[in-house]
């Protein structure tokens, strides 16, 4: 089923406006630094569709609930926001309703960080950690996002986009905050030599 041209244009505006808002808040997408696994996917709707920046494509699960995304970084990162692009008007019962976010340093020590509920979402759905973590930053190596239920009791889910966002001033060096690295160099030696005197 093809979408009307006006609908696609309007959806592109919503998509791009959401990205501009993320950038204006001083955030950058770090999901390209991670490897991702999913509980299941339908052929043609694999995990790479989450990051292709096309509003017409999506990851679709294909198995029993709960579905999940497992996002693994090679080093500890500070995450200020996770954003999902969802469209209830198109996906209806495939639209996630309740999710859980878990985080940790490995799969063996994941702890539940928050539960979140969407209500007929259209556009970027931003989940931040302001009231949950110090400085509003979730520090972890691994994220697990569980899709507990969908709208209208749907079974499989569609997620049209995913951004894992971190502060953009990642490589600013402050000798008083050597332990507060976001994504930049992690060793004190590299940090101390990362700026010109």
8 sits in which H/E element: helix 5-24
Whether 96 is covered by a domain: the verdict is yes
Say how far apart CA 97 and CA 75 lie, in whole Å: 31
pLDDT at 136: 87
CB 95 within 8 A of CB 46: no
Look at the chain and report how many structural domains it folds into. Answer: 1
Whether 189 is covered by a domain: the verdict is no
Say how far apart CA 129 and CA 79 lie, in whole Å: 8
CATH number of the domain that residue 159 is part of: 2.60.120.260
Whether 178 is covered by a domain: the verdict is no
pLDDT at 103: 96
CA 120 and chain centroid, separation: 19
Q: Which domain holds residue 55?
A: 5-171
Per-residue pLDDT tens over the stretch 65-77: 999 999 999 999 9
Question: Which residue stretches of the chain have pLDDT < 70?
Answer: 1-8, 170-197
pLDDT at 187: 52
CB 156 within 8 A of CB 78: no
């Amino acid at each position: 089923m093809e979408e009307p041209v006006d609908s696609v244009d309007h959806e592109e505006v919503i998509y791009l406006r959401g990205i501009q808002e993320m950038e204006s808040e001083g955030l950058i997408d770090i999901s390209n630094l991670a490897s991702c696994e999913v509980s299941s996917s339908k052929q043609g709707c694999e995990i790479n569709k989450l990051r292709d920046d096309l509003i017409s494509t999506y990851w679709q699960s294909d198995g029993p609930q709960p579905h999940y995304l497992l996002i693994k970084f090679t080093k500890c990162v500070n995450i200020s926001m996770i954003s999902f692009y969802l469209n209830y008007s198109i996906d209806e019962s495939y639209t996630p309703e309740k999710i859980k976010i878990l985080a940790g340093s490995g799969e063996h020590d994941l702890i539940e960080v928050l539960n979140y509920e969407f209500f007929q979402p259209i556009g970027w759905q931003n989940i931040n950690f302001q009231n949950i973590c110090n400085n509003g930053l979730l520090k972890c190596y691994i994220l697990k996002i569980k899709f507990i239920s969908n709208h209208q009791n749907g079974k499989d889910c569609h997620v049209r986009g995913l951004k894992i966002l971190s502060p953009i001033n990642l490589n600013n060096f402050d000798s008083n905050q050597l332990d507060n690295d976001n994504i930049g160099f992690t060793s004190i030696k590299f940090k101390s030599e990362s700026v010109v005197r």
